[in-house]
Amino acid sequence: MNRKMLAVVLTGVMVSSLVPAFTAYADDTRTVAMICDSSISDGGWGMACYNAMVAAAEKTGWETMYSDSIAQSAYYDTIVSYCDLGVDMIYAPGNQYTDAVLQAAEEYPEIAFALLNGGVDTPEKAANGNVSSLLPDATQIGWIAGALAGLMSESGTIAFIGGMELDTTLAKYAGYGEAAAYVAEQNGKSVTLLDPVYSGDFSASDKGIEFAKAMIDQGADVFFGDASAVDSGARQAIDEANEANGSITIYDIAQPTDLLGQNACVIGSQVTDNAVLIELSMKAVEEGNFGGETLFGTLQNGVLSAGELNTEIVPEEVQTAYADYIKQMEEGTFMQ
């Protein structure tokens, strides 16, 4: 009897949970759905991408939906679920969703797919021309962090923590290293970037702690990362090391939003305003000309920028020098 009652109750709950799915999007409001493998409250990538979508939607009057912390095996299924609900645009913030997006885009030609950090050639691969890449310049992102690292490193060793070995992550790593080496050399120093390490996912903050501890043991004194919540773990380990030393001598450069003040070790941030790119995509959908192109985000068009510096830690002369380097990047003369 107990089992029958339990089964009836559970069935009732399941059926009632389906009701909103069939009723919520019956009106004419346009809808964008975001999928994300990290949490939208991770204080890093997921949070920035979600907030960018919400900001763009507020300007354009769209409604938003999201699924976060989804497993790699669920990328495609989650996208298709939203397609079946009749959303107007799928927003996938990461290179890792490329295969799932291309497959779903082929099956749902009437839906727009905006792939943040997608490859330049990805839109061409879409059979129905309904995919666009939104591509913040990963090399410039690396430069913004690398120039600051080159100026601030005292030990001559800097570090980078990645989540997965994505093309954009590799480009950020390369840009970070070359900018740091260039800036350090110009200031009479030498900087070595440790080999990149990867946590394998974007939510293992404990891995960030362990990576940072290991890299501090190797002498790293400036950190940059592309691993979402893993970066927050690294910042915790850096703060602990600084506390043990009695002063802040190991630093972190955050991304992709301005995280100054979140941790004592954060000396600056690389900021990416993805909202601009998403808004452009939404307008393209409304005008019926979405797809088949790559929308670039650069320092020049204002999508990328350097966040505020921690003026209590970063010396005034470094602030001035850094501002000069950022200006060179904007003008296209950096490292020329």
> Smallest distance, Å, CB 34 to other proteins?
10
> Smallest distance, Å, CB 106 to other proteins?
29
The nearer residue to other proteins, 24 or 323, going by C-beta atoms, is 24
> Smallest distance, Å, CB 315 to other proteins?
27
The nearer residue to other proteins, 50 or 182, going by C-beta atoms, is 50
> Smallest distance, Å, CB 318 to other proteins?
27
Strand order in the sheet with 31-35: 63-67, 31-35, 89-93, 112-116, 131-136, 294-297
Binding interface with other proteins (CB under 8 A): 2-3, 6, 38-44, 47, 50-51, 54, 66, 68-69, 165, 194-198, 200-201, 203-207, 209-211, 213-215, 217-218, 229, 232-233, 236, 244, 262
The nearer residue to other proteins, 131 or 215, going by C-beta atoms, is 215
The nearer residue to other proteins, 118 or 233, going by C-beta atoms, is 233
> Smallest distance, Å, CB 18 to other proteins?
16
| Residue bearing tokens 């645009």 | 89
The nearer residue to other proteins, 153 or 199, going by C-beta atoms, is 199
